A = this chain, B = another copy of it.
Amino acid sequence: MPKDRTNKVSCSNYRCEIEITLELISGKWKAIILWNLGNHEIIRFNEFRRIIPEITQKMLTQQLRSLEEDGLINRKVYNQIPPMVEYSLSEEGKKLMPILEQMDKWGKNYVDNYKKTKQY
Which residues of A are at the interface with B, using a C-beta cutoff of 8 A? 2, 4-6, 8-11, 14-22, 24-26, 31-32, 35-36, 39-44, 47, 50-52, 70-71, 84, 92, 95-96, 98-100, 102-111, 113-114, 118, 120
Chain A binding site: helix, strand, loop or mixed by DSSP? helix
Partner of A99, one of B15, B24, B99: B99
Report Cα–Cα, A95/B107, bound state, in Å: 11
Top 10 nearest A-B pairs by Cβ distance?
A17-B107, A21-B107, A21-B103, A20-B107, A18-B103, A17-B108, A5-B40, A9-B39, A14-B51, A18-B104
Report Cα–Cα, A26/B70, bound state, in Å: 18
